[in-house]
Chains A and B, each alone.
Chain A
Amino acid sequence: AQKVTQAQTEISVVEKEDVTLDCVYETRDTTYYLFWYKQPPSGELVFLIRRNSFDEQNEISGRYSWNFQKSTSSFNFTITASQVVDSAVYFCALSEANFGNEKLTFGTGTRLTIIP
């Protein structure tokens, strides 16, 4: 069975600090996808990134970066120079890549608060 663990329930940092959100996953599949979503107070899940299990290259997009390590089953998310607009709940999710099994398995989320 798939499982995603986000051990950090809540994190607060002062604006401009860097912050890393942790994600650990479990799956028996060799082919899978990992995601990060942002959920602002409005409730809509905003897609941030997708990685497949064969691509362990780290990715950087502006102030956001992701570190995928298959050896430790982790997919951590770092925000550099945090801003107040980054305040939200962030979810890590896992999906098998098999036809007919499409569900996203989410972690319980990390509530990030950026203090001005």
Chain B
Amino acid sequence: ETGVTQSPTHLIKTRGQQVTLRCSSQSGHNTVSWYQQALGQGPQFIFQYYREEENGRGNFPPRFSGLQFPNYSSELNVNALELDDSALYLCASSPGLAGQAPYNEQFFGPGTRLTVL
């Protein structure tokens, strides 16, 4: 069984540019969540997708947007990059939602390290 994969591993962009990060969920998982982890901090929830629709969003501006495809893989897009966007971006997948019994924990990918210069 293939775990959660993310691409690219590392990325360097300049301020004002746009970036797309990709995530392939674990086989059988229909839910994908994205988190931003700044250096020395815990991960912060960006948003979640369930069966191709956004299902909850954290405190991030609209320039952070996402997409989930029919195969449940997902993209995170960030426009007009700012220096503070430099972080490790983590994707997590799960086979269902917390409201569905039994609750399934989120399985995390290795992350994409984004550096904005």
Contacts and interface: CB of A to CB of B under 8 A. Distances in A.
Interface in A79-116: 91, 93, 95-109
B39 to A, nearest CB: 11
Counting chain A CB atoms within 10 Å of each CB, which of B56, B97, B98 scores highest?
B98
A108 to B, nearest CB: 5
Interface string A29-69: 00001010100001111110010100000000000000000
Which size bracket describes the interface of B in this complex? 20 to 34
Interface in B95-117: 97-100, 103, 105-111, 113
B103 A33 contact: yes
Contact of A35 (B40, B90, B105): B105
Contacts of A96: 98
Interface residues of A, number: 29
A15 to B, nearest CB: 25
Contacts of A35: 105
Contacts of B90: 43, 45
B42 interface: yes
A106 B90 CA distance: 13
B105 A50 contact: yes
Contact of B111 (A43, A105, A107): A43
Given A43-B111, A97-B99, A102-B33, A107 B42 contact: yes
Given A45-B90, A45-B108, 9 more contacts: A45-B92, A50-B105, A52-B103, A91-B42, A100-B99, A102-B55, A103-B58, A104-B35, A105-B45
